[in-house]
Amino acid sequence: MKIIADIHIHGRFSRATSKQLNIQNLEKYARIKGVGLLGTGDFTHPEWIEELKQGLNEDGSGILKTKTGFPFILQTEISLIYTQDGKGRRIHNIVLAPNFEVVEQITEYLKKHGRVDYDGRPIFKIPCDEFVRELKEISKEIEVIPAHIWTPWFSLFGSKSGFDSVEECFKDQSKHIFALETGLSSDPAMNWRLSALDKYTLVSNSDLHSFWPWRIGREANIVELDKLIYKDFISALKNKKVTTIEVDPSYGKYHYDGHRKCDVCMSPSDSIKNKDICPKCGKMLTIGVLHRVEELADRPEGFKSKGAQEFKTLIPLSEIISALIGSPVASTKVWPIYNKLIEAFDSEYNVLLNVEKNELIKIVSEELADAIIKNRNGEIVIMPGYDGEYGVPVLGEQKEKKK
């Protein structure tokens, strides 16, 4: 069977998240999106874990279910901030666990190093290799996946605080790292340019801070497995039985170099010519993901490794509608069109991946139907995101402005 899984999310006790983030809304919008498995997010937070225990049932499979049977996998994100080799490191890691008992042990371990009650994504001064070693001592079934590995500020390869290799970061515990999360600003094709990453499974997730359909499942994993149980799910990931769903990396907030305060966005080649300095204020640019990949790549652009995982490039349906009609993504003009499509075709992913144009035009305009097909084919141009600003699809009004 195939299931669409989004296994990196947050609950409402994380910073800058929707206060309406709860199990009910997560399930509701996951079903609307077409996601069939969600991470729980933030299982170390004392209030959130109580809600998870009340709202989700264990059955011994390692996959928890709501009263209506929607599945969740126990997951959190931990921020590790420490110094190594004379440089400050800020690394985010996804942690997966098989049951509440193991989660309690992880939480007790972390409480020896600091507090877990102030944020759903807590911060600890623990080196990554020590972190993995001690989690594996708690349970061999705990898995650690480096999160959004190219993001400048908080990631494995980030330009501001990262490393140049998995081994430099995780040392002798690299043997336990089997997957890497691409993040919004990179896709598998960019990661194929590093031969050192060939052995890793690439995964993609939303890292959502709200449950809206332009956030939940905006990146996800189509996973092939026999039964939806924790061990089989992890095995499928380890064996690369995964097709990722990616946004165009230009849509990500850190694809190009730039300086948001100065409204400056630059390609890597342009920023290199300018010595990575903002031409308006003279300060250092935030070096984006594309630039960082160029620095570490040992293969040319367009290289595809043998046996490379397949991936699909899609931007959220709400973003397409918004760009075409020139109205904000959460506006009352966008929602009716979006809801018509969901009512007709069950889920957003069914619309984005499967419904033919002749069926779409029975419900929406031909212009929107064409845009949905272009999205499916990876043909929508995106003005690149930079320094915390999302990229913008070039459709409708944006397309007119660009002329």
Sign, CA dihedral 242-389-384-319, equals positive
Cα–Cα distance between 142 and 93 in angstroms, integer? 12
- Both structure tokens of 175: 């043997």
pLDDT of the chain along its 403 residues, tens only? 999 999 999 999 999 999 999 999 999 999 999 999 999 999 999 999 999 999 999 999 999 999 999 999 999 999 999 999 999 999 999 999 999 999 999 999 999 999 999 999 999 999 999 999 999 999 999 999 999 999 999 999 999 999 999 999 999 999 999 999 999 999 999 999 999 999 999 999 999 999 999 999 999 999 999 999 999 999 999 999 999 999 999 999 999 999 999 999 999 999 999 999 999 999 999 999 999 999 999 999 999 988 899 999 999 999 999 999 999 999 999 999 999 999 999 999 999 999 999 999 999 999 999 999 999 999 999 999 999 999 999 987 555 454 4
pLDDT for res 333: 97
pLDDT for res 307: 87
Alpha helix positions (H), 286-347: 289-296, 317-325, 334-345
The answer to whether the beta carbons of residues 201 and 236 sit under 8 Å apart is no
Distances (CA, A) of 170 to 93, 173, 175: 11, 5, 9
**Where do the domains of the chain lie, and which CATH numbers do they carry?**
2-250 (3.20.20.140), 317-379 (no CATH)
3-state secondary structure (DSSP) of residue 383? strand
pLDDT for res 279: 96
Cα–Cα distance between 20 and 22 in angstroms, integer? 6
